[in-house]
Amino acid sequence: MKSIHVSATVNGDAVEFICAPDESLLDVLRNRLGLTGAKEGCGTGDCGACSVTLDGRLVCSCLVLGAEAEGATVGTIEGIADGDTLHPLQQSFIDHAALQCGICTPGILVAAKSLLEKNPNPTDTEVRYWLAGNLCRCTGYDKIIYAVQDAAKKMRSA
Amino acid sequence: MRFARPETAHEAAALIAKETGLIRILSGGTDVMVQLKAGLVEPALIVDIKRIPGLRKITPEAGGFRIGAAVSGAELGEHAEVRALWPGVVEGAELIGSTQVQGRATMAGNLCNGSPAADAVPGLVAANAVARIMGPNGERDCPIADIPAGPGKTTLAKGEFLTSIFLPARPARSGDAYLRFIPRTEMDIAVAAAAVSLTLNDAGVISAARVALGAVAPTVRLVPAAADTIIGSKLDEAALAALSAACSAACNPIDDKRGTIEFRTQVVGVLAKRAALIAYSRAGEKK
Ligand SMILES: Cc1cc2nc3c(=O)[nH]c(=O)nc-3n(C[C@H](O)[C@H](O)[C@H](O)COP(=O)(O)OP(=O)(O)OC[C@H]3O[C@@H](n4cnc5c(N)ncnc54)[C@H](O)[C@@H]3O)c2cc1C
Ligand code: FES
Ligand code: FES
């Protein structure tokens, strides 16, 4: 298989990588760029643990080819905090104990951030539907909803 | 496997025409990537069509809209004018997968993947939407209803691919709706589904209708006999009962863990009734 050279912007930084034509963006992020925040829960679009933004749109990075990132802008969990200052969503997940094992958390944070950018004041139902593609085996979801809503409130008054 | 990202539809057609191995067109990739991962397909060439100009655009045309083949569900759902004209088509497309899947999945991919349970297809068939197809011999137009050929199969000839889907203009006092049954509220495959598109005259009588069913036959199916039961009516009880019976009669479903033949046959009639009532009220009449 002929390798492909790709230039993209990841979390604001210009990056270049070489990947195989059938390699997913998730594998590129994790294995070639050292960004291991996005997780592989299923590899088939069902769990959302690999969520990233691609040109501003929330996607499963396991369903995107690395080669498709040519010229694109990718946002991952690693780009969410501002230096040492956690994003309000990250802080809220800690405050509300909205995680246990933490495997689902990076994907849920990326997905929740994308929701609040589109809709800063969602209802609980809207949060639940938006996050329906993010599975969590540990928390039972309620605390995740509380944490997102509390962060949304703080972000609205910030 | 090789990856190509042609800049024009002609370049794509030429690439495809000269390839001797297996080809997969890549739109949103939400089916293709899963099939690659599972080893179900081993294409020699992947052709990503998303960079072809116009394929990610929605353009008004002749009172309707031309939807580029690579427009995602999320992009379609954000288009207020398409939603206003064809709400049933948009709601079908928006039922596909999660927010993340919506960010990528296209109606063209949904159609060409060939699933009898494809959520965007019944609405498109009921809308009498038309696919624009590029191929080795140039461009042609084909009604969406004529594209599905069986599970995983389409009538597209070798080397052909969709560049857009055209949603036509519609008369005033028209409405459409799509409903599916799934065992939960999100992230599941339709067990049975129905789309209804209709137009009313000034007296509130249905003057034209199209009914399409999903997941109850080897392909999404247009059922003219079901439409005939409601044309000329105001959706009174008798018309609704006849609609339901005609839909059930048109079924040829499978029995699987997700639904029995009996269940699918009965539920599709109920869904058609409810979709007809929603379409009727969207067309401007209270019920
Ligand atoms: C987690 C998850 C949930 C899902 N839920 C649903 C659901 O609820 N309902 C549902 O109907 N589907 C569902 N799907 C299936 C899938 O998302 C849809 O079928 C989607 O619409 C496919 O579109 P795509 O653009 O991603 O297609 P792709 O994966 O890019 O392509 C699908 C097929 O069509 C072909 N193709 C694509 N574009 C063209 C074109 N322009 N011309 C010719 N051939 C083309 C491809 O070669 C491939 O064979 C789900 C998938 C996942 C991963
Ligand atoms: S790893 Fe991508 S959705 Fe599960
Ligand atoms: S915290 Fe363990 S899967 Fe969500």
Per-position DSSP letters for B195-240, written without gaps between them: EEEEEE-TTS-EEEEEEEEESSSSS-EE-HHHHHHHTTS---HHHH
Looking at the fold, whether B148 and B225 belong to one and the same domain comes out as no
Is A100 a pocket residue for ligand 3 (Cβ < 6 Å)? Answer: yes
Task: Mark which of B151, B167, B183 sits at the end of a domain.
Answer: B167
Which domain CATH number covers A32?
Answer: 3.10.20.30
Q: Which residues of A touch B103 (CB under 8 A)?
A: 54, 57-59
- Give the closest-approach CA distance of B247 to chain A in angstroms: 31
Looking at the fold, whether B215 and B114 belong to one and the same domain comes out as no
How many structural domains compose chain A?
Answer: 2
Task: Mark which of B167, B197, B212 sits at the end of a domain.
Answer: B167
Residue B181 pLDDT more than 90? yes
Predicted local confidence at residue B187, as pLDDT: 80
Task: Mark which of A49, A79, A109 sits at the end of a domain.
Answer: A79
The pLDDT > 70 percentage for chain A reads 99
Looking at the fold, whether A66 and A93 belong to one and the same domain comes out as no
Residue B8 pLDDT more than 80? yes
How many structural domains compose chain B?
Answer: 2
Residue A130 pLDDT more than 80? yes
Residue B279 pLDDT more than 90? yes
Looking at the fold, whether B198 and B82 belong to one and the same domain comes out as no
Task: Mark which of A23, A53, A79 sits at the end of a domain.
Answer: A79
CA distance A153 to A146: 11
Interface test with A, best of B1, B2, B48, B100 (most A CBs within 10 A): B100
Task: Mark which of B167, B187, B204 sits at the end of a domain.
Answer: B167
- Give the closest-approach CA distance of B25 to chain A in angstroms: 13
pLDDT digit string, tens, across residues B48-83: 999 999 999 999 999 999 999 999 999 999 999 999
The CA-CA-CA angle for residues A57, A61, A66, to 5°, reads: 105
Which residue range is the domain that position A42 belongs to?
Answer: 4-79
Which residue range is the domain that position B135 belongs to?
Answer: 2-167
Which domain CATH number covers B229?
Answer: 3.30.390.50
What residues of chain A have any CB closer than 8 angstroms to a CB in chain B?
A: 1-2, 4, 21-22, 24, 43-46, 48, 51, 54, 57-60, 62-65, 67-68, 70, 111, 114-115, 129-134
Query: How much is the pTM?
Result: 0.97
